[in-house]
Structure 1
């Protein structure tokens, strides 16, 4: 990978982020950083890969996609990829659960499957009410968003049973979920430019709220990605409006609104210490194939170095005065 600080015409890079080159030939479907080093994996629709995740030791990447299988790529050893999981429909989400030494995969076949890499068959298959659209793991908490706006919460200490099933506080289709770093709740983002903040404890329900974002006037854009900062536990949203913003859920404040790129941001992620925020800028198919022009469509991957003021939480405002 080469890094360049040069912006591109058409206001693709208004925040003057570092550009990662070369970028994939088609739209980016996922970005994931190694938990051990600044290695970034991008998956793209050019080979119909939808999702990716790293093993906790940073040695291996797992990818899943439209071919209904999950491959393991031993990056550090330079070995060939091997199939480690399979579904009956495209694989939308993959996550490595370090504490269980298992891979969990979520598919449009309406199942979650847990895989021991030493076995060809899943060690457990969990039925979902609908297709898996989003998944987040922060052991022992796992939250799955499905096509019918259900949010299914699992305690991974007893993964065979649902801990709680919640209808999304948002009225439209779920696009992304992110577990709180303290495992006490989760964020959910939808296609309507809104984020829900939800606590699991019934006694904390008064702290739940939703807020609008990624909107401009009457134009409403999808929230495509939610990422918690690994140190400050604030979070980033990225959307089809081409913007990414940093937020503090505890003080209910937006910390920083970044300048909008001229194309959507379909996915984003922080590196392991939060010093780099990676995001892709490309067509995200939210306006259908008829609005995609292969002749002019380009894909970009950028790296932003967040300043502390952008990502460090602020004290709660207790009075109306400043």
Structure 2
């Protein structure tokens, strides 16, 4: 296959207050979530002036990737399309068609398998191509990268940096807490022939990051950003509940590392820099939140390496043992029956 473009695939986010409710309605379309619930969630965005940082983070990443491509002689024009807010993927695919693109490589801003983190991007691509019509370019999604050194090592560096801000005299009672977006238990268990990819890959990433963080502290994998009706079980423990449990066990300080994410978007800064930080302060815990990869040079190089893998110019690079797929089985990772609203 000859590829003639690159497209960044992301979630999208509002960039002004008037965008917030239409954006949230896009996120939950087809789920019957009432506007009253969305109005509650919108307050998280209004806390930051109605602006989610994710779109600017995508612009920054795309610019960095374009520079990386130029440095390494990769002549692929770069595009960007979102699932839930402008630039919408269908509009991007239409522009690609008009520009004569026929076969593009897509990089999704999620490292893991699972429905929302992987399969839904395949569905986004299919829906966008259908909306554009028969001349829509093909888009081949690049593989999951939860164990790629370009993802693992920036997280490990960030953990080390966060540890350096805490009191070294209390190192013996410090713990590392890795977080990721919670999902419904039905989604976590019902992952088709590929098994529980999301949770198993998250555990592997935590192990790999911890091993490279250069410290013998204990660690845990917990969850954040739970949403939906309270009677629907989601992955637990929640990060705030876990901080309570750690304090009861005599832990004095925590480093919270959001390994489930590639950038400091709104769910990271709201759930961890606000809610979890407030919990830690109430409990008297020393608290440091590790950064996400963002535009770390190793992460940007990873995107280029994933492209070169598919072009046949780069070996398959991985640190873990779990499988990843260029093209997933058609019946893998079905959605939960009743997904909830975002937090």
- Greater Rg by CA: 2
Higher relative contact order (CA 8 A, sep 6+): 2
TM-score normalised by length of structure 2: 0.27
TM-score normalised by length of structure 1: 0.29
Higher helix content, 1 or 2: 2
